């Protein structure tokens, strides 16, 4: 199975950005761990700070399932939500922090309704749980 992992804005800074919220582990470390544990699958990764780049990547048909952390786009990107709605593949939304314990504007996901499941608040373990469930 080819599993695409997409991260949205500022998630390129994992490991250094607000470690009290997001931890000290870089995304490269997360990917290395996932590839070691799930070597029978092909894991692909894409990160963008641009909404259109994420939409273009979702629409590229070179994968079987999707793990997405839309970052801040979670809360207001109806364009990404529409791309997910039109995607007829299994997809899981991941959030490192528990968005329901954060600021009010972060407690609403406009993208979640178009995914099969949401993992929120498990830290970087959420990525592993998402791949495991796929």
41 is in an annotated binding site: no
82 is in an annotated binding site: yes
Q: Cα-flanking dihedrals φ and ψ of residue 20, to 5°?
A: -70, -20
DSSP classification of residue 8: -
Compute the distance between CA of residue 31 and CA of residue 128 in angstroms, rounded to an integer.
9
Compute the distance between CA of residue 85 and CA of residue 42 in angstroms, rounded to an integer.
24
Cα 52 to Cα 9, 58, 73, 75, 124: the distances in Å are 12, 10, 11, 16, 25
96 is in an annotated binding site: yes
Is 22 annotated as catalytic?
yes
Instruction: Spot the catalytic one: 22, 41, 50, 76.
Output: 22
Is 100 annotated as catalytic?
no
26 is in an annotated binding site: no
97 is in an annotated binding site: yes
Instruction: Spot the catalytic one: 76, 95, 100, 127.
Output: 95
Compute the distance between CA of residue 81 and CA of residue 91 in angstroms, rounded to an integer.
12
61 is in an annotated binding site: no
Binding site for substrate: residue ranges? 69, 75, 82, 96-97, 106
- Mind telling me the catalytic residues? 22, 95
């Amino acid at each position: 199975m080819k599993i695409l992992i997409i991260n949205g804005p500022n998630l390129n800074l994992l490991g250094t950005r607000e470690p009290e919220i997001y931890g000290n582990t870089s995304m490269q470390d997360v990917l290395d761990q996932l590839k070691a544990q799930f070597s029978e699958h092909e894991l692909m990764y894409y990160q963008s700070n641009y909404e259109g780049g994420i939409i273009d990547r979702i629409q590229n048909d070179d994968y079987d399932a999707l793990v997405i952390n839309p970052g801040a786009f979670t809360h207001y990107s109806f364009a990404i939500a529409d791309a997910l709605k039109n995607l007829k593949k299994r997809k899981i939304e991941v959030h490192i922090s528990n968005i329901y314990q954060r600021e009010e504007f972060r407690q609403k996901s406009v993208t979640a309704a178009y995914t099969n499941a949401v993992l929120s608040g498990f830290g970087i373990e959420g990525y592993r749980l998402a791949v495991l469930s796929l």
